[in-house]
């Protein structure tokens, strides 16, 4: 049939060598990769639809896995963060730029609601970092002595 003689399965008569070559792991990986890259939109639409249909089940499964493997998940997350510092910084910067007013408003409200805690934290920082405190005050005083840009008044 295929130009060779080989043993055959007794049940279905298929050539053992041809059948095993059809299930070669490397060729299956290559095929899966090419199929996924050729059908990216279709597969992502299917994945979104499937997640929407089974979202609660998926969330429960993910939660259970995390609780069963907490240390492994934390180590994996930490490694990812270490390897993607630039990406995280970019995402944070973009988020801040697109939500600047909201973030500043929330920060202002938090400071007002927790003013005693903020004052205590700042006082503790000043006590723990006297050199940095002196440097900040010196920088502020130097800024006051600097001439203002032309056309602007203090």
Is 148's pLDDT higher than 80?
A: no
Question: What is the mean pLDDT of the segment spanning 124-133?
Answer: 96
- Average pLDDT value for residue range 63-84: 98
pTM of the model: 0.49
Count, residues in the chain: 154
CA–CA distances in Å: residue 114 to residues 103, 106, 126: 16, 12, 18
Q: For 125-143, what is the mean pLDDT?
A: 94
Q: From the centroid of its chain, how far is CA 149?
A: 43
Instruction: Tell me the percentage of the chain whose pLDDT exceeds 70.
Output: 94
Spell out the domain ranges in the chain: 16-145
């Amino acid at each position: 049939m295929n130009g060779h003689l080989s043993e055959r399965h007794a049940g279905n008569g298929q050539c053992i060598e041809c059948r095993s070559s059809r299930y070669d792991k490397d060729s299956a990986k290559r095929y899966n990769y090419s199929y996924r890259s050729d059908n990216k939109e279709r597969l992502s639409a299917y994945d979104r639809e499937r997640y929407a249909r089974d979202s609660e089940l998926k969330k429960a499964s993910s939660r259970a896995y995390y609780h069963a493997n907490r240390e492994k998940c934390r180590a994996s997350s930490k490694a990812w963060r270490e390897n993607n510092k630039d990406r995280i910084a970019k995402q944070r910067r973009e988020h801040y730029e697109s939500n600047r007013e909201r973030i500043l408003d929330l920060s202002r409200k938090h400071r007002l609601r927790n003013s005693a805690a903020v004052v205590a934290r700042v006082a503790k920082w000043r006590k723990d970092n006297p050199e940095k405190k002196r440097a900040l005050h010196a920088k502020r005083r130097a800024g006051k002595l600097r001439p203002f840009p032309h056309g602007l008044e203090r």
